[in-house]
Amino acid sequence: MVPGRFDGRVETEPADSGTPAPRRRYDPPLPAPPAFLRRGPLREGTFTSPLHEPRTVVVVGRWLGAALLVCFLTGLTSHLLQDPPGWLAPHLPARPVNGYRVTQGLHVISGLAAIPLTGAKLWAVYPRLFEWPPARSVLHALERLGIALLVAAVLLELFTGLLNTLQWYPWPFPFRQTHFWLGWLATGGLLVHLAVKAPLIAAHWWRRAAPALAQRRAFLAATTAAVGAVTLVTAGQSVPWLRSLDLLAPRRPDIGPQGLPVNRTAAQAGTVTVPADWRLRVDGPQPYELTLAELGELPQHSVELPIACVEGWSASARWTGVRLTDLVRRAGAPPGSAVRVTSLEASGPYRVMEMPATYVDDPLSLLALRVNGEVLAADHGFPARVIAPNRPGVLQTKWVARVEVIA
Amino acid sequence: MTTGVRAARAVRALRVLRIVRALLLAAGLAVIGYGLSGLLGDPYITDPSDVLVWAVGGLVIHDGLWVPLLCVLGAFVVRGPVLRGWLFVAAAVTAVGLPAVLRADEDHGNPSVLPLPYLRNWLLVLAATAGVALLVAFAGRWRRRDRAAGRRGPALGRRDRAVRRREPRGDRS
């Protein structure tokens, strides 16, 4: 029994009944394959659950669509903050202070929630994979190819995103670029899917569109429970009041050297021992160098700022050090100057970081020497590290050797 | 409301829907085009066919192995909404937690990555959700017993009774 139709051709477009729809002219029909090929799951009546119907799919699809869009937009936010195009960089805001922390917490929370939601959605529409004939027309064939693209992109996107939070990379392609472009493919596929299914979605949007089913309520309750369970046991890596329930997340915000997690250790960066003659070099109109002791004699400021990672974890700490704007001003650079910061580490994609003037001029942006009252541990960037509001963790450069005014 | 007004409203709604669909379609195709050209042109992705292999592989494993397994289990083995619901929750928790269980010992010398006892925690979550499922199952049984005994109790609302009357019991996959 099938309480609703998936193709939505009959009940959803009353204007088409009576007059032949003009767009059908551009949609040449395809011949049906011979009937003897219709075997196995392609036969009618293979799937008997009453839940393979549009109302269930529309309800789960709404949740999944919302999760995927949040995931895409927060991912795009991270990309723009981390790797902005030249025209955007001077306009990146240093506020809200917790902007990056909240958006990237949401990115991973919505991505993890999308895992059970994708499972529920794809199970509910699974019989559509075996519809007969496989392609009624050219447009229908294209639409099904689009679905394949959408599903493949979403599955691989969720899989790579989940494993990246564990720093596990079993695939041969680079994670960041692939995850970024797959996000566009998945979102484009989703928009096309919404366009194609819009009449069906509209027809089943409201509860009165379909008879109530006890199985549907049970299924939706189970889906909600699955999303809730997954969220509760992982969201504690970014949401402070859920920390005690953080059972399966790859990070705990209070575990690490000095009570803070680390993304790249000093051993990995080759900066366990700092050269004895270390000096901070500041280049600008009036360049100068400072020893660690001299840095400590400059006016010190303490700020409460989170360190937040695209992998979803974040932790707040109290950082103490010299304001970046003071260092830059001392080099004779005017307000509105951007800087380039270079780390002691020999190599690594984030050895050199550029910071727009909006961050440099922010009174919360520090070259920190201490965290939570202690001298920075090697893993947290001893002798000095950058900490600024609303910035991706990888741009909070550790083991700083040089600050250079660039504009 | 006259039928004329209603018809005019329906026509307007259809026109809005058509415009929305056209915009969604155009935006979707543009976004796919952007993503595809980016994926194929990215200097770091030296061999885009690797991505294709993994994408198709994921599709085949999900649609060719995982969902058929679910359908067979649902049709022949697993009965009852509560057990099904718990299995769904357990599968979701496992999908999210199993990678951590498998990789618990591999932190690349960074003890703040995967710092928890993940095998223990995973079993704990499975046990806790099973406990909740048992409570739900018992609550349902008591409710049904109440109803059978008195036909009065606060067992089901009007809406639920309507649902019961209308639908057949068969709930296979």
User: What distance in Å separates the CA atoms of residue A81 and residue A188, rounded to the nearest whole number?
Assistant: 22
Contact A355, A270 (CB under 8 A): no
Residues of B in contact with A262 (CB under 8 A): 110, 112
Q: How far does B171 lie from chain A, in Å, by closest CA?
A: 5
Q: How far does B64 lie from chain A, in Å, by closest CA?
A: 11
Residues of B in contact with A193 (CB under 8 A): 28
Partner A contacted by B38 (CB < 8 A): yes
Q: Which of B45, B55, B91 sits opposite A156 (nearest CB)?
A: B55
Tell me which residue of B147, B171, B168, B169 sits closest to B157, measured CA to CA.
Answer: B147
Residues of A in contact with B106 (CB under 8 A): 168
Instruction: Report residue A83 CA to chain centroid gap.
Output: 14
**Higher local confidence (pLDDT), A400 or A208:** A400
Tell me which residue of B171, B35, B6 sits closest to A51, measured CA to CA.
Answer: B171
Which residues does B139 contact at the CB level (< 8 Å), separation at least 6? none
- Tens of pLDDT, residues A271-310: 999 998 999 999 999 999 999 999 999 999 999 999 999 9
Percentage of chain A with pLDDT > 90? 88
Confidence of residue A1 (pLDDT cuts 50, 70, 90): very low
Is A225 in contact with B159 (Cβ distance < 8 A)? Answer: no
Q: Are strands A366-371 and A314-323 parallel, antiparallel or unpaired?
A: antiparallel
What value does the mean pLDDT take over residues A72-77? 98
Q: Which of B93, B163, B172 sits opposite A213 (nearest CB)?
A: B163
User: What distance in Å separates the CA atoms of residue B98 and residue A166, rounded to the nearest whole number?
Assistant: 11
- Return the bridge partners of A302, or none: A320
Contact A6, A128 (CB under 8 A): yes
Q: Which of B24, B54, B112 to mutate to test the interface with A (most CBs of A within 10 A)?
A: B112
Residue in A with minimal Cα distance to B114: A250
Partner A contacted by B1 (CB < 8 A): no
Partner A contacted by B135 (CB < 8 A): no
User: What distance in Å separates the CA atoms of residue A64 and residue A22, rounded to the nearest whole number?
Assistant: 33
Write out the two tokens for A35: 């009937």
Q: What is the 3-state secondary structure (H, E, C) of chain A?
A: CCCCCCCCCCCCCHHHCCCCCHHHHHCCECCCCCHHHCCHHHCCCCCCCCCCCHHHHHHHHHHHHHHHHHHHHHHHHHHHHHCCCCCCHHHCCCCCCCHHHHHHHHHHHHHHHHHHHHHHHHHHCHHHHHCCCCCCEHHHHHHHHHHHHHHHHHHHHHHHHHHHCCCCCCCCCCHHHHHHHHHHHHHHHHHHHHHHHHHHHHHCCCHHHCCCCHHHHHHHHHHHHHHHHHHHHHHHHCCHHHHHHCCCCCCCCCCCHHHCCCCCCHHHHCCCCCCCCCCEEEECCCCEEECHHHHHHCCCEEEEEEEECCCCCEEEEEEEEEEHHHHHHHCCCCCCCCEEEEECCCCCCCCEEEECHHHHCCCCCEEEEEECCEECCHHHCCCCEEECCCCCHHHCCCCEEEEEECC
**Is pLDDT of A358 > 70?**
yes
Mean residue pLDDT across chain A: 93
Residues of B in contact with A189 (CB under 8 A): 28, 32
At residue B121, the pLDDT reads: 97
Write out the two tokens for A106: 């949401």
Q: Which of A178, A221, A256 sits opposite B112 (nearest CB)?
A: A256
Percentage of chain A with pLDDT > 70? 94
User: What distance in Å separates the CA atoms of residue B108 and residue A211, rounded to the nearest whole number?
Assistant: 54
HSE-CB for B66 with a 13 A CA cutoff: 17
Is A218 in contact with B93 (Cβ distance < 8 A)? Answer: no
Write out the two tokens for A147: 């679905």
At residue B108, the pLDDT reads: 80
Is A151 in contact with B59 (Cβ distance < 8 A)? Answer: yes
In chain B, positions 95-124, which contact chain A (CB-CB < 8 Å)? Answer: 95-97, 99-100, 103, 106-116, 118, 121-122, 124
- Tens of pLDDT, residues A8-21: 443 434 444 444 44
Is A268 in contact with B109 (Cβ distance < 8 A)? Answer: yes
Per residue in A259-297, is it b (16+ CB within 10 Å) or e — as a string? ebbbbbbbebbebeebeeeebbebbbeeeeebeeeebbe
User: What distance in Å separates the CA atoms of residue A384 and residue A375, rounded to the nearest whole number?
Assistant: 9
**Is pLDDT of A22 > 70?**
no
Q: Which of A116, A214, A223 sits opposite B163 (nearest CB)?
A: A214
Is A233 in contact with B38 (Cβ distance < 8 A)? Answer: no
Q: Which of B45, B124, B172 sits opposite A48 (nearest CB)?
A: B172
Residue in B with minimal Cα distance to A12: B14
At residue A19, the pLDDT reads: 44
Residues of A in contact with B14 (CB under 8 A): 13, 15
**Residue A129 burial by Cβ neighbours in a 10 Å radius (0-12, 13-18, 19+):** middle
**Is pLDDT of A251 > 90?**
yes
C-alpha pair distances (Å), A181 with each of A178, A187, A198, A250: 5, 10, 25, 24
Residue in A with minimal Cα distance to B158: A212
- Tens of pLDDT, residues A41-64: 999 888 988 999 999 999 999 999
The angle, 0 to 180 degrees and rounded to 10, between the axes of the packed helices A54-82 and A214-234 is 20
Contact A392, A75 (CB under 8 A): no
pLDDT < 50 positions in chain B: 153, 155, 157-158, 161-173
DSSP B113: S
Q: What's phi and psi for A288, nearest 5 deg?
A: -155, 170
Which residues does A217 contact at the CB level (< 8 Å), separation at least 6? B163
In this complex, how many residue pairs, one in chain A and one in chain B, have their CB atoms less than 8 Å apart? Answer: 254
DSSP B115: -
Is A226 in contact with B88 (Cβ distance < 8 A)? Answer: yes
User: What distance in Å separates the CA atoms of residue B11 and residue B5, rounded to the nearest whole number?
Assistant: 10
Tell me which residue of A325, A311, A398 sits closest to A360, measured CA to CA.
Answer: A325
Q: Which of A115, A142, A191 to mutate to test the interface with B (most CBs of B within 10 A)?
A: A191
Q: Considering the entire predicted model, what is its pTM?
A: 0.90
Residue in B with minimal Cα distance to A157: B55
Partner A contacted by B7 (CB < 8 A): no
At residue A52, the pLDDT reads: 94
What value does the mean pLDDT take over residues A178-187? 98
Residue in A with minimal Cα distance to B89: A226
Partner A contacted by B165 (CB < 8 A): no
